[in-house]
Amino acid sequence: MKLLKMIIAGIILAIFLPGITWSYEEKDPVKQAFLSSGASLEIYDITDWSVISRDYLDFEDMEKIKAGVIKLFDIPEQNFKTTKESDDMYRILNTEGWMDSDTFLQVILQSVELPKDYEKEPQTYLVVTVASKNLAKLEELRSKVRDAIISCKGQSRITTCITGTFDGKLNKVQQNAILEKFARELKIENFEKMQDDYTVSVVGYSPEIPDSITILEKSYNVNIAMRYNSEDDMTYIWIGTPVISVEY
């Protein structure tokens, strides 16, 4: 259990720290594995982020970057609402809105300039997040999210998380059977599982998934969790690559 927690923590750190091996291609067999699991789709989330500038940008420059990102998604900018926040050390431009009835887009730009005592150069970050209930658009949206980061000269660190449900309460045997089915279909290696009274979760590496990160000379690219919600009377499943990026 302790080892699994360390691995998950390492995966999260790898997303946010440089110097970790990261590869990415467009195919994602996780979608097919999810469809064959019998789960009903709730929503999926795609998030990518990067440092895109070593300058402390003003809002005018940030607006130009934001407009370029919105244009990549081919959605009229008037569909979105933008808010601004700032003080002596940072500026934040937050733009969000509905691309269509099923898909929500958020673009966040944050520019930071710390006091000289910190001896840190200014930085500007870009975060692009899409949430959708249309699974047929997953590959297209993920490609656009990644392109938004790369077009702004950033380094893609994209994560995808699919959330699904099963009716009623699945016992531990049933949950384990579903996880084992995912493990077989995705040929998961480095398989580590943690289970308590409420949640079961696993991490591992699937050669079927092109994107991966390397921690302590081992590759990881899949994180799956299941938990029963008594209020909804549903068992939820989250499948994240390379890690679950939403709260569960």
pLDDT above 90: percentage of residues in the chain: 67
* Mean pLDDT along residues 104-109: 98
Residue 247 lies in a domain: no
pLDDT above 70: percentage of residues in the chain: 89
Alpha helices, DSSP H, located in 161-241: 172-186
11 Cβ contact partners less than 8 Å away, ≥ 6 residues apart? 203, 213, 215, 220, 223, 242, 243
Residue 123 lies in a domain: yes
Task: Report the C-alpha gap between 241 and 26 in whole angstroms.
Answer: 12
Residue 248 lies in a domain: no
Mean pLDDT of all residues belonging to the chain: 87
Residue 42 lies in a domain: yes
Task: Report the C-alpha gap between 92 and 186 in whole angstroms.
Answer: 40
pLDDT in tens, 185-229: 999 988 888 888 889 999 999 998 877 778 777 888 999 999 999
Residue 50 lies in a domain: yes
The answer to whether residues 197 and 184 touch, using CB atoms and an 8 Å cutoff, is: no
Q: What is the domain extent for residue 165?
A: 2-241
Residue 212 lies in a domain: yes
User: How distant, in Å, are the alpha carbons of 60, 63, 102, 105, 139 from that of 80?
Assistant: 17, 13, 15, 9, 23
pLDDT in tens, 1-50: 443 443 344 444 444 444 333 333 445 689 999 999 999 999 999 999 99
pLDDT in tens, 39-78: 999 999 999 999 999 999 999 999 999 999 999 998 888 8
Query: Which pLDDT score, from 0 to 100, does residue 16 have?
Result: 44
Helices (H) and strands (E) in the chain, counts: 5, 13
Task: Report the C-alpha gap between 123 and 107 in whole angstroms.
Answer: 17
β-partners of residue 155 are: none
CATH code of residue 110: 3.30.2030.10
pLDDT score of 244 more than 50: yes
Residue 172 lies in a domain: yes
Task: Report the C-alpha gap between 212 and 11 in whole angstroms.
Answer: 10
Query: Which pLDDT score, from 0 to 100, does residue 27 have?
Result: 56
**Counted domains in the chain:** 1
